[in-house]
């Protein structure tokens, strides 16, 4: 669920992860993150907008669905419009534990983003 001040908080840290990261060139980084996310295996895009993206990622064997959301927050300063914040939330829909899948997914997204430099 998309809230006015950002992505919904996580309810269960055993099956969900929410990170917030500051970026220079936030618009470019947001577009790059979306591209990486859309190329994840077994990922279906649900919503794609100017500041918000949502997809469903399914596990390889049992096809369990996880929600993946990426939000570019509109908190840029007047001094430097290129700096901003992006939130990424990955959350299991089923089960009390995801065995670290969502944390690894976010780590993978951020690592791939770093490799684009």
Which domains are present in the chain?
Answer: 15-115 (3.30.310.80)
Strand runs (DSSP E) across 1-117, as ranges?
2-3, 6-7, 16-23, 43-48, 52-58, 65-73, 84-92
Mean pLDDT value of segment 93-114: 96
- The model's pTM is 0.91
CA 39 – CA 80 distance, rounded (Å): 31
Least confident of 42-46, 60-64, 88-92: 60-64
Residue 13 has pLDDT above 90, yes or no: yes
CA 96 – CA 92 distance, rounded (Å): 8
Give one DSSP letter per residue of 80-110, joined into a string: -TT-EEEEEEEEESSSS--TTHHHHHHHHHH
Residue 76 has pLDDT above 90, yes or no: no
CA 6 – CA 97 distance, rounded (Å): 24
Rounded alpha-carbon distances, angstroms, from residue 108 to 74, 80, 115: 25, 28, 11
């Amino acid at each position: 669920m998309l809230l006015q001040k950002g992505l919904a908080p996580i309810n269960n840290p055993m099956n969900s992860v929410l990170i917030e990261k500051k970026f220079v060139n936030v618009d470019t980084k947001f577009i790059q993150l979306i591209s990486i996310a859309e190329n994840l295996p077994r990922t279906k895009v649900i919503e794609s907008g100017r500041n918000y993206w949502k997809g469903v990622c399914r596990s390889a064997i049992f096809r369990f669905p996880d929600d993946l959301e990426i939000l570019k927050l509109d908190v840029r300063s007047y001094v430097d419009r290129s700096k901003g914040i992006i939130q990424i939330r990955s959350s299991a829909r089923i089960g009390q534990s995801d065995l670290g899948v969502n944390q690894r997914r976010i780590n993978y997204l951020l690592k791939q983003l770093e490799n684009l430099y």
